[in-house]
Amino acid sequence: MHAAALLRLGRAAGVRLGDVSRRPASVVAPKSSTAGWEEEKSKDRVRWRQLEHRGPYFVPAYEPLPDGVRIVYDGKPVKLSLAAEEVATLYGKMLHQEYTTKEVFQNNFFNDWRKEMTEEERELIKHLDKCDFTEIHRHFMDKAAARKALPREEKQKLKEEAKKLQQEFGYCILDGQREKISNFKMEPPGLFCGRGNHPKMGMLKRRIRPEDVTINCGRDAKIPEPPAGHQWKEVRSDNTVMWLATWTESVQNSVKYITLNPSSKLKGQRDQQKYEAARRLKGVVGEIRSQYRADWTSPDVKKRQRAVALYFIDKLALRAGNRKEEGETADTVGCCSLRVEHVQLHAQANGCKYVVELDFLGKDSISYSNRMSVEKPVFENLQLFMKNKSPGDHVFDKLTTSSLNKHLQAWMDGLTAKVFRTYNASITLQKQLQALTHANDSQASKILAYNRANRAVAVLCNHQRAAPRTFMKSLQTLHAKIEAKKAQAAEVQVELVKAKANHLTRGDSKSRRLLQKQWQRLQKLEEQLIQLSAQVKDKEENKHVVLGTSKLSYLDPRISIAWCKKFGVPVEKVYTKTQREKFTWALDTAEDFEF
DNA sequence: GGAAACACTTAGCAGCCTAGGG
DNA sequence: CCCTAGGCTGCTAAGTGTTTCC
């Protein structure tokens, strides 16, 4: 009954405006006779009292290709209808990308492209491999090059225009404050590029019209003007949500939103709440750990599965792993969705007992590959969970993320699987900083220590990247530098020996000065060599690791800011401008802050 | 109680921009 | 002063978790 009452209150707070009938009523849920926490709860969900904005910016309409640029089919140039031509350009633009070589991409694209063709076009164009998009590709490459080669003033002008657009559409008024919007431009049409082995890659992502977009704004706000000759799908005033506009994307039928920038007060508050939850977990994590260890030997299989999964989530910072619809997305997993094929058990490996090997594709199809020694009950449980199962079966077949989260919720209000990732990331940073920073070190060494601590977290969270394109080249340059220095050092070494001999025979002050000079030169070179090889090491360690993701989403900024203050490192050395804007709420943290 | 819908956070990468070396 | 490597930002995909529906 409570739940039902809550639902009604929740909906009442989100009033549909329909055709702009506006009563000067409060936006807050109406007072109901059911008193106490229910009302509290519904007030909790109110995110704002005032919201005003210009609506999204729509990208310019399609501009037809000039006459000289054509698609060639089976050796013959073809002039396409506007709709078909537009979709063809989306493919032509991408010709240099690896995607277009993939069969799934090609098939999906061709399928969707044909839907845009006229009857005659469909009759003519039957095979993608007979289509030649090179003229289109060249056209867009030339255009890009031309833009790049524009004189300075012209570029400046374009920049000014972009800025103007940002000023006009890029901000909203939220509760009296002018706040930045993160994505005020509508996504242009394009070919869907999923990550990894995505079954829908190459499908057409349609152009979104104002008629597809729902606007959310304050009841008393001026309703944003749709582009001339158009209308919004709907205008509503729901102050229990944070989005300004929404639409449904055509490939996955997923809902997309226009939302506030992380620098906004509202987003900042939520970020802070997230870290506060992680800090509260710090208080109970000991108990939770004892509990799940005890549960490893429970007679209840469900409990044992939950306890082992939670152990992975805690120890390895795995994601929860919701079940996904098969065939709709790339095949990736998290903890609760691990399958037998992702886990290997070795009773004995490299002198260690009870070794578990995990190998799977996680979020964004990033590979997770880890092997570690676990306690005997974990090992034996896994053996049991996997017994008589096929490779494609779930290891934790009696567990779902929602049952796991329900269990966690009982431990602590607001506790879910992802809080463990935040907690473990932040606590690791704090501990590593403590271990690696020395007050008397140079600023450069302190920053290096910070980056090392940051890297420990990135490795824990498996924040990987493809090696940068320029990686090999820049590493080679660095190695070349080292070789040059080494050669130089060898030369100086020879000089030094000579000088030594010279000084031995002559023994005067001049020859002595000369000897000293050579010796100093050698010292300096050796120091530089040490620096350079440290750089190489740093670079190699960072080859596949991204520090930015954990910094932005998992590390309580108050830890970093307190560290900066304590060791006299300017905050700008750790956070870029945008990052400082995101973490405004934490900038005044005292140096003795403890996570 | 499970699926679908919804809301919001977390994610890697392309390409632009800019600082610092030659 | 120019050029280029690497840092930064914008983009949008892909997760998590809650609410609603059946």
Residue A418: half-sphere exposure toward Cβ, Cα within 13 Å: 8
Sign of CA dihedral A420, A426, A431, A432: positive
Any idea which nucleotide's C1' is nearest the CA of A473?
A: C5
Alpha helices in A220-355 (DSSP H): 265-295, 301-316
At A393, which CATH number?
Answer: 3.90.15.10
What pLDDT score was predicted for residue A10? Answer: 31
At A198, which CATH number?
Answer: 2.170.11.10
Q: How far does CA A542 lie from the centroid of its chain?
A: 17
How far is residue A214's CA from residue A212's CA, in Å, rounded to a whole number? 7
Q: In this predicted structure, which of A317-326, A357-366, A484-493, A554-563 has the lowest mean pLDDT?
A: A484-493
Do A556 and A463 have their domain in common?
Answer: yes
Out of A292, A354, A554, A575, pick the active-site residue: A554
Nucleotides of strand B lying closer than 7 angstroms to a protein CB:
2-14, 16-17
Any idea which nucleotide's C1' is nearest the CA of A274?
A: B9
Do A392 and A443 have their domain in common?
Answer: no
What pLDDT score was predicted for residue A282? Answer: 96
Q: What number of residues does chain A have? A: 595
Confidence at A11, pLDDT banded by 50, 70, 90: very low
Burial class for A67, CB neighbours closer than 10 Å (0-12, 13-18, 19+):
exposed
Q: How far does CA A382 lie from the centroid of its chain?
A: 31
What pLDDT score was predicted for residue A488? Answer: 80
Distance, CA of A338 to C1' of C19, in Å: 26
Domain end (from A223, A241, A258): A258
Domain carrying residue A228: 169-258
Distance, CA of A367 to C1' of C5, in Å: 28
What pLDDT score was predicted for residue A26? Answer: 33
Domain end (from A258, A279, A301): A258
Distance, CA of A476 to C1' of C5, in Å: 13
Q: In this predicted structure, which of A31-45, A397-411, A526-540 has the lowest mean pLDDT?
A: A31-45
Percentage of residues of chain A with pLDDT beyond 90 = 68
Confidence at A34, pLDDT banded by 50, 70, 90: very low
What pLDDT score was predicted for residue A298? Answer: 95
Do A233 and A286 have their domain in common?
Answer: no
pLDDT in tens, A423-462: 999 999 999 999 999 998 888 888 888 989 999 999 999 9
Do A300 and A399 have their domain in common?
Answer: yes
Any idea which nucleotide's C1' is nearest the CA of A425?
A: B10
Residue A61: half-sphere exposure toward Cβ, Cα within 13 Å: 6
Do A403 and A432 have their domain in common?
Answer: no
Beta bridge partners of A190: A205
Do A358 and A388 have their domain in common?
Answer: yes
- Lookup: tokens for A309: 């999964």
pLDDT in tens, A115-163: 999 999 999 999 999 999 999 999 988 888 888 888 777 888 888 888 8
Annotated active-site residue A311? The verdict is no
Q: Is residue A10 part of a domain?
A: no
Q: For every residue of A230-258, which 3-state class applies, written as one string?
A: CCCCEEEEECCCCCCEEEECCCCCCEEEE
Q: Report the amino acid identity of residue A86.
A: E
- Lookup: tokens for A447: 């920053």
Distance, CA of A183 to C1' of C12, in Å: 10
Distance, CA of A183 to C1' of B18, in Å: 24
Residues within 7 Å (Cβ) of strand B: A 47, 144, 148, 155, 159, 195, 238, 240-243, 246, 253, 255, 257, 259, 267, 270-271, 274, 319, 323, 325, 363-364, 366, 400, 418, 422, 461-466, 469, 546, 548-550, 553-554
Supply the DSSP string of A546-589, one letter for each residue: -SHHHHHHTS-HHHHHHHHHHHT--GGGTS-HHHHHHTGGGTT-
Q: Which secondary structure element, helix H or strand E, spans residue A357, and what is its range?
A: strand A352-361
pLDDT in tens, A288-300: 999 999 999 999 9
Distance, CA of A586 to C1' of B7, in Å: 25
Average pLDDT over residues A164-192: 94
At A542, which CATH number?
Answer: 1.10.132.10
Q: Is residue A144 part of a domain?
A: yes
Which of the pair, A5 or A435, is modelled with greater confidence? A435
pLDDT in tens, A394-406: 999 999 999 999 9
- Lookup: tokens for A341: 């094929």
Nucleotides of strand C lying closer than 7 angstroms to a protein CB:
5-21
Numbers of helices and strands, H then E, in chain A: 18, 16
What pLDDT score was predicted for residue A345? Answer: 96
What pLDDT score was predicted for residue A42? Answer: 52
CA neighbor of A561 nearest in space, from A438, A433, A435: A433
Q: How far does CA A274 lie from the centroid of its chain?
A: 17
What pLDDT score was predicted for residue A22? Answer: 35
What pLDDT score was predicted for residue A28? Answer: 36
Do A188 and A324 have their domain in common?
Answer: no
Q: Is residue A34 part of a domain?
A: no
CA neighbor of A437 nearest in space, from A427, A428, A426, A450: A450
What pLDDT score was predicted for residue A178? Answer: 95
Domain end (from A234, A258, A282): A258
Distances (CA, A) of A255 to A182, A197, A250, A262: 16, 22, 9, 20
Q: In this predicted structure, which of A275-279, A292-296, A539-543 has the lowest mean pLDDT?
A: A539-543
Indicate the number of domains in chain A: 4
Q: Is residue A548 part of a domain?
A: yes
What pLDDT score was predicted for residue A396? Answer: 96
Do A384 and A296 have their domain in common?
Answer: yes
A349, A402 in Cβ contact below 8 A? no
Taking all residues of chain A, what is their mean pLDDT, rounded to a whole number?
87
Confidence at A44, pLDDT banded by 50, 70, 90: low
Confidence at A358, pLDDT banded by 50, 70, 90: very high
Do A542 and A483 have their domain in common?
Answer: yes
Please determine, for residue A570, whether its predicted confidence score (pLDDT) is greater than 70.
Answer: yes
Residue A422: half-sphere exposure toward Cβ, Cα within 13 Å: 23
Do A566 and A457 have their domain in common?
Answer: yes
Distance, CA of A151 to C1' of B12, in Å: 33
Which of the pair, A336 or A504, is modelled with greater confidence? A336
What pLDDT score was predicted for residue A479? Answer: 79
